[in-house]
Amino acid sequence: MSDMLTFIKGVAKNPTKIGAISPSSPYLAERMVKAASLTNEHAIAELGAGTGSITKRIREEVPRAPLIALEPDPSLAAILRREVERIDVSERFAEDLPEVVAEWGHPKVDRVISGLPWAMWPAWVQEPIIDAIAASMAPDGRFVTFTYVTSQIVPAAARLRELLLRYFGEVHRSQIQWANLPPAFVYIADRPLVDPLSRRSTKKLPVRLMGVNDNTLQRILKELKDRDRRP
């Protein structure tokens, strides 16, 4: 069975878990990998690796880096084991990242790359995962994740951005990758700010970032309109 067919069957069985209508395009995979700025010395964890569209590109970029993929769907995990060279695959959830990487032998990872369906999740799912990611990372680590433009109208998308701002010292956003279904952009989050005792962010988020003044959506809608106007 093709990877695409396995993916589609997975979506049909459990749409909120898979959270996408197709695997990431090679263009989005390229953007994610470049945004992560990988070296062979980095210990890398990928969350929600699916059929490996980003994983394979990571492997190509850094053939010798230690790489673990977390993919709880057993049929997708089997594809990753079969198709990606020199990879460790865990069928556990992203929430368990600190325990998974400790057992893996790299208690602090340098890069976390995510294909998780953030916009489908309520706060009580999102926050423990961001907390687990930040708690698993080296102080100079980098987290990259994509999110769909079409998801930006739901509150969960704004909440993801708030969580990134709260749990990381610096957060950037890429241009939109139009050659993906749906189009997506990448968040790049540096310097995790987790208090090692409480496993909570040490950063107090200014009130103005918490909601109504968030202009991400406006910027995206403007970018969409500008694109429509282009010949």
Ligand X SMILES: C[S@@+](CC[C@H](N)C(=O)[O-])C[C@H]1O[C@@H](n2cnc3c(N)ncnc32)[C@H](O)[C@@H]1O
> Which residues of the shown chain bind ligand X in the complex (CB under 6 A)?
17-20, 23-24, 47-50, 53-54, 70-73, 76, 93-94, 115-117
Least distance from C-beta 16 to ligand X, angstroms? 9
Nearer to ligand X, 50 or 66 (CB): 50
Nearer to ligand X, 24 or 136 (CB): 24
Distance from CA of residue 155 to its chain's centroid?
18
Least distance from C-beta 46 to ligand X, angstroms? 7
Nearer to ligand X, 9 or 222 (CB): 9
Strands 194-195 and 200-201 turn out to be: antiparallel
Least distance from C-beta 50 to ligand X, angstroms? 2
* Cβ atoms of 166 and 157 closer than 8 Å: no
Which H or E run includes 86? none
Least distance from C-beta 196 to ligand X, angstroms? 23
Nearer to ligand X, 15 or 105 (CB): 15
Selection from 175, 181, 128 nearest residue 151 by Cα: 181
Which letter, b or e, does each residue of 194-214 get, where b requires 16 or more Cβ atoms within 10 Å of its Cβ? Answer: beeeeeebeeeeeeeeeeeeb
Nearer to ligand X, 76 or 144 (CB): 76
Least distance from C-beta 26 to ligand X, angstroms? 11
CA angle at 54 for the pair 183 and 16, rounded to the nearest 5°: 60
CA distance 11 to 14: 5
